[in-house]
Amino acid sequence: MGKSSGPRRKSRSALTKSVRERGRLGLSRLLTRYDVGDKVVVKIDSGIHKGMPHKRYQGRVGTVVERRGRAYVLEIPQTKIVKTIIALPEHLRKQ
């Protein structure tokens, strides 16, 4: 059987929750508002698949550029360029 090449491969430790983090999500995480210009940390919640950014952005700090529906558009600086990603608030934390 060939190796998997899916978007969640090699992410066993990066996208798992501890025992005490499992279960339903708190409302404060869903209702947190981020303003344009806020610095946020991408902390992927593996229990919610919708609006999940790619695993390479786990732990990165980005700036909120705009809001699209419930989601936020973030600019994340890399070495020479700036990447733009879209993520739901469940996967974001204030810095």
- Domain holding 56, by residue range, is 35-94
Is the CB of residue 87 less than 8 Å from the CB of residue 53? yes
Q: Is 24 inside a domain boundary? A: no
pLDDT over 90 (residue 71): yes
The answer to the question of residue 11 being in a domain is no
Q: Is residue 79 part of a domain?
A: yes
For tokens 């902390």, the residue is 43
| pLDDT at res. 66 | 97
> Does any domain span residue 25?
no
- Residue 88, in any domain of the structure: yes
Q: What is the pLDDT of residue 73?
A: 98
Kindly state the tokens that stand for 57.
Answer: 């952005």
CATH number, domain at 52? 2.30.30.70
The pLDDT tens digits for 76-92 are 999 999 999 999 999 99
State the average pLDDT over residues 11-18. Answer: 87
Domain membership of residue 58 (yes or no) is: yes
**Can you say how many angstroms the Cα of residue 86 is from the centroid of all Cα atoms in its chain?**
9
**Does a structural domain hold residue 74?**
yes
Q: How many domains does the chain have?
A: 1
CA-CA distance, 46 to 67, in Å (whole number)?
Answer: 22
